[in-house]
Structure 1
Amino acid sequence: MACSLCIGTVLPILRRMRRLAVLLLLVLPHGASRGLEREAFEVYHQRRRAVSEAHPDGLILLLGYERQEAQAVRSPFRQENNFYYLTGWNEPGAALLLIPAQGDGSVYQELLFLPPDDPSHEKWHGPRAAPDDADIRSQTGFESVLPISKLATRLSRAAKKRSHVYTLFPHRAGEGKQPEPDRREKLQTHAGELPIADIRAQLEAMRAVKSEGEIRLIRKAVDASIAAHIEAWQEIEAGLYEYQILGPMLAAMINGGCLRPAYAPIIGSGPNSTALHYTAGRRRLEPGEVVVMDVGGEYAHYAADLTRTVPVDGVFTERQREIYDLVLYVQRKVIAAVKPGETLRGLTHKAKRYFDEAGRDAAGEAMGASFLHGVGHSVGLGVHDPIDFSQPLKAGMVITIEPGLYLPEEDLGVRIEDMVLVTENGAQLLSKGLPKEADEIEKLMRGR
């Protein structure tokens, strides 16, 4: 009896491990290299020139992340988003200096500074690009690549007749934002007597509207994330722990070219489905529950952010389907309202009104009281890309639409999140390949 029980428990796990091993083997030949794509060098050059032309009175100095600043101990190095947006450069210790042209006949200059060769560093971390590499121009897209040791001298020389040094101040603290290093003291040392000023507002405004290349990379992040969700649906069953659902999702994302998740994955079952940013993953799935899976991959620095809510047993209960269909109804209404000129704050108000109009919960409260967060946010280099929620939407912006209802008294939370591209005529659903009709989800889960 004991042996048959062990076999019944172990065999499904072994089957899952086999599938996971196959996925991971597929990663190595082609997955990682695809995730290193960049936009064309000319795109980064155009962005740098736009920033420079907006500040002809000063210099623009950005410092890329050092390895320790990127929190890269447990994952591959990841460059600061704004630095990457202007350079496409994803190695530590770099600096960017833009010198705008002036009326005295001086010409516009773009200088990238890199650390020198360091054999002791390479023993631990492998080879990295150096300013004297023969092919450094083709690696970086910059005509002028200099050793980082020359930054102070070049900055001092260029500072004559300039009024400011423009750079990045640390962002405001907030939900979903990682702490940033405060380099103002270090930057002031480089700037000498010139005052430093923050350039973040301009860069964030530029980043809000995506280029064609950015949209292409976001689509790839979305496609890999869709595959991850569908893979997870094939694995979900009572008795597994929440973190076990993440294994096949990670394998599918990596095999799709993603280097890592775009954020800490949220997989919450039963009572945890009602916690908005639950990431512990320690609970065992029980029969009759739902699982909220808010998981997205990062492809070539660009994020996807998708959420689906699915039944552990493969079939929604009557009450679960009632709440699920209501959330789906509201999501469709909000997506239909997306257009240039609308705001995320306005869309959130619409979502709450749609929930309120749908009726009341068991306690007599309007359903909108169980909708606890904004209905969406911007996505790009960051999973929560910078945007003012009262800012009118523009064509080319990429946002999420993610209404949800959270009923802790019923251990029932439902969130449905898709990514949409704002167009001149409305919204284009980027994640349409991930089913969200309750019947579609049940059909796919029955095929396990």
Structure 2
Amino acid sequence: MNEIGNDAAAVYYAAPQRTRNADVEYQYRQDDNFLYLTGFPEPNAVLMLVPKGMQVRNPADTSTTMTVREILFVQPRNPVREHWNGRLYGPEGAMKLRGLEFALPIDQFERMLGSVMFRSRPALLYFPPFASDLTGEIATTLEPLQNFIDQTRIRNLATELRDPTAMVYRHRRVKSVEEIVLITKASEIAATAHRQAMMSCEPGMYEYELQGVYEFVYRKFGAEYNAYPCIVGAGENTVILHYNSVRRKINDGDLVLADCGAEYHGYATDVTRTFPANGKFSKEQRQIYEIVLRAQKAAIAMMRPGTSWSEISKKAADVVNEGLFALGLIKDKDGRSITDSSHTDSVTR
């Protein structure tokens, strides 16, 4: 609230539901920033933050008003919809279970937006850019906001428009104790899955069978989602970075690369491991594996507050280059073979 400022307002919206095919929808996954700010898992929801306050009717005495700084607009309870798709929190449930200051039905968003934006005229409005695939109920709900933004730009009104993404990221970058507990749990689930997959793997299996081991373990230990589509590749498929066909038979002598992570209560891990399908490395496989292992340990040893990701990445690359040079696989151990990156530098905290 302090960072938004008294003469400003911010609007955040839930991720849209996405259609898989016909009338079948993908499993719903909330927008990261919206989940961080609200903890609310449902679609068709909007959060409005106004640091200097908004006037709303007091639910305990509807003849009076009260001042609130945050309102979450959510779907109301609906027996027909809940019969098909499961229970909804509704405004009362959202306030009770999520600890939010105030909640209203989603159809009240337009009225409150008008009250805040057209009467108070804040000098600054934060809102996330509208996604190109923003469709369905949330798109309809946000039409008044889109109209206000369009009119502000066309008529050059005094309200400044700003993307809040960087502001939210600054808060998300430093994790609370509670968040670290959730990250640790996600990591433990992922580690359990990788160990189980290594024990289950044997020549003659198919990649998709091993992928199934990961996904079974994730669900068994409470992870709601994969952190990303689970990548399991054997043999020549190990060098395809985002391989997703997973139809090949795993042969004796193959290496298997598994890039699979778990997501637990909104917090995810990204874990990649390589292991021999038959449980035993060949001489050449072990040589390369041990180089990569040394690089990983060297990188982990550097991870402390104040160290940039580019420094850590360079250290790992140097260890790999030295190892490959020692094997005679590259001619220049000081080369740029794997140090270039398109990722933005960051600093560990």
**Normalising TM by the smaller chain, what interval?**
0.7 to 0.9
Please point out which of 349, 366, 391 is paired with 2:346.
391
Cα separation, 2, equivalents of 1:391 and 1:304: 18
Partner AA of 2:303 in structure 1:
V
Q: 1:170 to 1:275 in 2, by over 3 A?
A: farther
2:179 corresponding residue in structure 1:
214
Deviation of 1:127 after TM superposition, in Å, equals: 2.1
RCO higher in structure (CA 8 A, sep ≥6): 1
Equivalent runs, 1:137-286 vs 2, <5 Å: 137-159=95-117, 160-169=120-129, 181=134, 187-189=145-147, 193=152, 194-286=159-251
Q: 1:75 to 1:203 in 2, by over 3 A?
A: same
Partner AA of 1:117 in structure 2:
R
Contact 2:314 / 2:339 at 8 angstroms: preserved in 1?
no
Deviation of 1:187 after TM superposition, in Å, equals: 2.9
* 5+ long unaligned stretches in structure 2: 54-65, 153-158
Equivalent runs, 1:398-417 vs 2, <5 Å: none
- Give the TM-score taking structure 1 as reference length: 0.65
- Give 3-state SS (helix, strand or coil) of 1:243's partner: helix
Alpha-carbon RMSD across the aligned residues, in angstroms, is 2.9
Please point out which of 71, 79, 88 is paired with 1:128.
88
Cα separation, 1, equivalents of 2:251 and 2:20: 38
- Give 3-state SS (helix, strand or coil) of 1:285's partner: coil
Equivalent runs, 1:21-60 vs 2, <5 Å: 49-50=1-2, 53-60=3-10
Q: 1:372 to 1:254 in 2, by over 3 A?
A: farther
**Deviation beyond 6 Å, 4+ runs, structure 1:** 69-72, 182-185, 367-370
Q: Does 1:114 align with 2:74?
A: yes
Contact 1:113 / 1:145 at 8 angstroms: preserved in 2?
yes
Equivalent runs, 1:321-360 vs 2, <5 Å: 321-360=286-325
CA offsets per residue over residues 9-36 of structure 1, 9 Å max, x none?
xxxxxxxxxxxxxxxxxxxxxxxxxxxx
CA offsets per residue over residues 30-76 of structure 1, 9 Å max, x none?
xxxxxxxxxxxxxxxxxxx35xx433221111111232389995653
Deviation of 1:203 after TM superposition, in Å, equals: 0.7
* 5+ long unaligned stretches in structure 1: 1-48, 172-178, 376-387, 395-448
Cα separation, 1, equivalents of 2:164 and 2:320: 40
Equivalent runs, 1:369-380 vs 2, <5 Å: 371=338
Contact 2:307 / 2:347 at 8 angstroms: preserved in 1?
yes
Q: 1:311 to 1:275 in 2, by over 3 A?
A: same
CA offsets per residue over residues 367-405 of structure 1, 9 Å max, x none?
777648869xxxxxxxxxxxx7323221xxxxxxxxxxx
CA offsets per residue over residues 155-192 of structure 1, 9 Å max, x none?
22122141122111268xxxxxxx86497876332556
Contact 2:124 / 2:160 at 8 angstroms: preserved in 1?
yes
Partner AA of 1:113 in structure 2:
F
Q: 1:123 to 1:139 in 2, by over 3 A?
A: same
Cα separation, 2, equivalents of 1:197 and 1:263: 30
Deviation of 1:118 after TM superposition, in Å, equals: 2.9
Contact 1:70 / 1:78 at 8 angstroms: preserved in 2?
no
Cα separation, 1, equivalents of 2:320 and 2:130: 37
Contact 2:12 / 2:128 at 8 angstroms: preserved in 1?
yes
Cα separation, 1, equivalents of 2:221 and 2:336: 38
Contact 2:252 / 2:278 at 8 angstroms: preserved in 1?
yes
1:37 corresponding residue in structure 2:
none
CA offsets per residue over residues 385-436 of structure 1, 9 Å max, x none?
xxx7323221xxxxxxxxxxxxxxxxxxxxxxxxxxxxxxxxxxxxxxxxxx
Contact 2:317 / 2:339 at 8 angstroms: preserved in 1?
no
2:259 corresponding residue in structure 1:
294
Percent of aligned pairs sharing the same letter: 31
2:155 corresponding residue in structure 1:
none
Contact 2:30 / 2:42 at 8 angstroms: preserved in 1?
yes
Cα separation, 2, equivalents of 1:329 and 1:187: 53
Please point out which of 8, 14, 17 is paired with 1:67.
17
Contact 2:263 / 2:269 at 8 angstroms: preserved in 1?
yes
Q: 1:359 to 1:66 in 2, by over 3 A?
A: closer
- Give 3-state SS (helix, strand or coil) of 2:97's partner: helix
Cα separation, 2, equivalents of 1:248 and 1:154: 49
How many residue pairs align between the two structures? 320
